[in-house]
Amino acid sequence: MENQITIREAITENDVAAFWEQLHIYHKRDIFPDSNSEDLEYFLSSEYHDHMMKIHSRPQDRCYYLFFHRDGQDIGFAMPVIYTTEDGKCFIMEFCVFPEFRGNGTGKECARVLLDWAKEHGALYAELNYGGDKRRERFWQSVGFIKNGADEWGEPLMILPPAEDVPITVEILADPEDWQLKKLENGFLKEIGEAPATEEKQEQLAQAIRDGKITFFMAKRGYRAVGMCSVAKCFSTFACTDTGVFDDFYIEPVLRKKGVARNLAQAAQDWCKENGLASLTVCCAPCDEGMYQSLGFDLRLGATFAHIT
């Protein structure tokens, strides 16, 4: 059909080479126009190429090299990874319409075709990193994506939410190095206006978890961690026993007002009772007092003052 956009997978050696040629052009032209960028150097390197080829070749959760095709010619490309062994996430790593074909809704149509293709290949929802670029943000919003936290490196994310409801469960974090904890922590830091956690701080946090100084509770939608909170132990000379401080309370924006906050707070409160902690306190801004009171923090202990060293 004339003007219809279809997807053509790069399978042959020549097609794969052509895909990588266009990917390098895209990185230099659209993503890293500063030729001195260290990031550009990495994306043009054999290290990145070999890494992605391994993901492309693996039997499950593989990366696809796709061309958008119309009227006998390629007009753009995409590089999605579909995590069928996890929760059906399609992560769109790259998406490009060639400059000469941009305009007249071509980009939106390519995006819709890609999302339909992903659904046919087992994807239940889609996510991407838009790099904080306002133009890309507006484009993906027009397709239905919503800003939703940050990834484990602190880069902002957008999500096209899954349509179906999946029960939310809460579990204690078992792996201090879990990449999903890093992802949620960076989403939390981004929301309160702080910089992403450095590798040093991430390791310090992981060590505190190993040492039992802090316990994290993860709200999970199947495989995906969508929220968290923590309890840090401290000894109270008043109670002469351990008490807890409630912190790191964060839920992905797309899943708020769905009962996740109550589930997390209840799990933390139950754990404190089971482990003999005399109390669980939270420090919050005045605007959040009503929320915490509704979650069971209903005893006011006065003002909190701090000296930062």
pLDDT confidence of residue 146 = 96
Say if residue 301's pLDDT is above 70.
yes
Who wins on pLDDT, 241 or 65? Answer: 65
> What integer is the mean pLDDT of 35-54?
91
What homologous superfamily is domain 5-123 in, according to CATH?
Answer: Gcn5-related N-acetyltransferase (GNAT) (3.40.630.30)
> What integer is the mean pLDDT of 130-134?
90
User: pLDDT band at 281, cuts 50/70/90?
Assistant: very high
User: To the nearest whole number, what is the mean pLDDT of the chain?
Assistant: 94
Say if residue 117's pLDDT is above 70.
yes
Structure tokens at 222: 């199947």
> What integer is the mean pLDDT of 138-143?
96
Distance, in Å, from the CA atom of 131 to the CA atom of 287, rounded to the nearest integer, reads 30
pLDDT confidence of residue 1 = 60
Label residue 144 left, alpha or beta by phi (over 0 means left) and psi (-120 to 50 means alpha): left
pLDDT confidence of residue 305 = 74
Q: Are strands 146-150 and 156-160 parallel, antiparallel or unpaired?
A: antiparallel
pLDDT digits (tens, 9 = 90+) for 9-22: 999 999 999 999 99
Least confident of 21-35, 71-85, 202-216, 261-275: 21-35
CATH dotted code for 168-294: 3.40.630.30
Cα angle vertex 43, ends 38, 44, to 5°?
95
Q: What torsion do the CA atoms of 97, 98, 104, 108 make, to the nearest 10 degrees?
A: 0
Distance, in Å, from the CA atom of 286 to the CA atom of 153, rounded to the nearest integer, reads 31
Say if residue 309's pLDDT is above 90.
no
Query: The sheet that has 5-9: what strands, in order across it?
Result: 5-9, 66-70, 73-83, 89-97, 125-129, 156-160, 146-150
User: pLDDT band at 42, cuts 50/70/90?
Assistant: very high
pLDDT confidence of residue 302 = 75
Domain with CATH 3.40.630.30 in the chain: 5-123, 168-294
> What integer is the mean pLDDT of 30-52?
90
pLDDT digits (tens, 9 = 90+) for 73-96: 999 999 999 999 999 999 999 999
Distance, in Å, from the CA atom of 104 to the CA atom of 246, rounded to the nearest integer, reads 51
Say if residue 198's pLDDT is above 90.
yes
pLDDT confidence of residue 178 = 97
Say if residue 36's pLDDT is above 80.
no
> What integer is the mean pLDDT of 273-292?
92
